[in-house]
Amino acid sequence: MKLTVIIPVHNEVETLDAFLAAVTPVLEQTEHTFEYLFVDDGSKDATFSVLQQKAHTNPRIKVVRLSRNFGKECALLAGFDNAGGDAVLVMDVDLQDPPEVIPDMLAAWREGAKVVLTRRDNRDSDSYWKRSTAGWFYKIYNAMARVKIPDNVSDFCLLDREAVDAFVQLRERCRFNKGLFAWIGYEPVVIPYMRPARTQGESSWPMAKLWSFALDGLTSFSTRPLKLWTYIGSIIAVLSLFYGLFIVIRTLLYGVDTPGYASLIAVVSFLGGIQLVSLGVLGEYLARVYSEVKDRPVYLVRQKIGF
Ligand code: UDP
Ligand code: MG
């Protein structure tokens, strides 16, 4: 049985050697044959030429080079599309996904699991801010999405061929892989691990990118933010009706009470704010609908090596 290891890489020239040196001995000790499938996600440094050289001398290495940077989520789809193994393992190149966990994942797969996920049991390598926002994200996501994802799962995972064939049918452009892995079904086996800090290179996930990624995740798997406004609007309308009645009755009983400028401004600006927020939510969905209807491919391949 053959294993394909997909590794998305973006400007990772200094991490490649360490990755191969750490992962190869672990894979060689398993009973499976394996291949590396690097997806070069539009690297600007020498990542591709180094991979090309390695692929010439090492028959286990395959490379798919994308035409530009499409982002990790899309790069992974390129990997899955080109993976030939009976099982597919997804790993980051920075060794934040410890190779020691791979034998356990393979064991779970041999015991019949179609989807093997891993869960970070410490997030010490992340800042306090990133940890707490991530914690909130999982809470909000699972409160809203119909198909839940386990807390703190990472992209470090293993899929059986059957699950891979299901996964590659999902061709959406705003991709949130953790949600997609859950969406295809196949009760996952979750293996906990300790996540070390990145040794070389640097993380390419600034806060702004994480924020839009979180919105991609929520909007892809829940329409609740969209529907919420019907209820918020109804509640405000009913409250306003009662308040209007109250004012009319009070005026009839006690006459006109002119002061009220401050409360008027407060109510008008509050409602203005609420309306803009609801428009913004509509916009988030509309923008994604727009990018889906254009029906562009999820990624473009520039070159393939080793196939
Ligand atoms: N990556 C990618 N395309 C991108 C950004 C990142 O293929 O646009 C790859 C990167 O080379 C690495 C993996 O995705 O192998 C995880 O990236 P990173 O370590 O920056 O993310 P973090 O661990 O901070 O979540
Ligand atoms: Mg990393």
How far, in Å, is the centroid of ligand 1 from the Cα of 296?
Answer: 23
> Phi-psi region for residue 225, left (φ > 0), alpha (ψ -120 to 50) or beta?
alpha
Q: Are residues 260 and 194 in the same domain?
A: no
Assess if residue 210 is contained within a domain. Answer: no
pLDDT in tens, 286-299: 999 999 999 999 99
Query: In this model, does residue 258 exceed pLDDT 80?
Result: no
Q: Is ligand 1 within 6 A of the CB of residue 96?
A: yes
Which amino acid, 284?
E
* pLDDT, mean of residues 273-293: 91
Assess if residue 214 is contained within a domain. Answer: no
Q: Is ligand 1 within 6 A of the CB of residue 72?
A: yes
Q: Are residues 129 and 245 in the same domain?
A: no
Q: What local confidence, expressed as pLDDT, does residue 207 receive?
A: 81
Q: What local confidence, expressed as pLDDT, does residue 68 receive?
A: 96
Q: What local confidence, expressed as pLDDT, does residue 300 receive?
A: 96
- The tally of domains found in the chain comes to 2
pLDDT in tens, 133-148: 888 999 999 999 989 9
Q: What local confidence, expressed as pLDDT, does residue 260 receive?
A: 79
Q: Are residues 160 and 240 in the same domain?
A: no
The DSSP bridge partners found for residue 40 are: 9, 65
* pLDDT, mean of residues 103-114: 95
Q: Is ligand 1 within 6 A of the CB of residue 10?
A: yes
Q: Are residues 11 and 131 in the same domain?
A: yes
Report the b/e string of 48-70 with b at 16+ CB within 10 A: bebbbebbeeeebbbbbbbeebb
Lowest mean pLDDT among 45-54, 84-93, 202-211: 202-211
Provide the whole-model pTM.
0.87
203 CA closest ligand 1 atom index: 20
Assess if residue 208 is contained within a domain. Answer: no
Q: Are residues 269 and 233 in the same domain?
A: yes
CATH number of the domain to which 105 belongs:
3.90.550.10
96 CA closest ligand 1 atom index: 23
Q: Are residues 152 and 105 in the same domain?
A: yes
Domain boundaries, position 238: 224-293
* pLDDT, mean of residues 239-248: 88
Q: Are residues 191 and 236 in the same domain?
A: no
DSSP at 297 = -
Q: Are residues 96 and 171 in the same domain?
A: yes
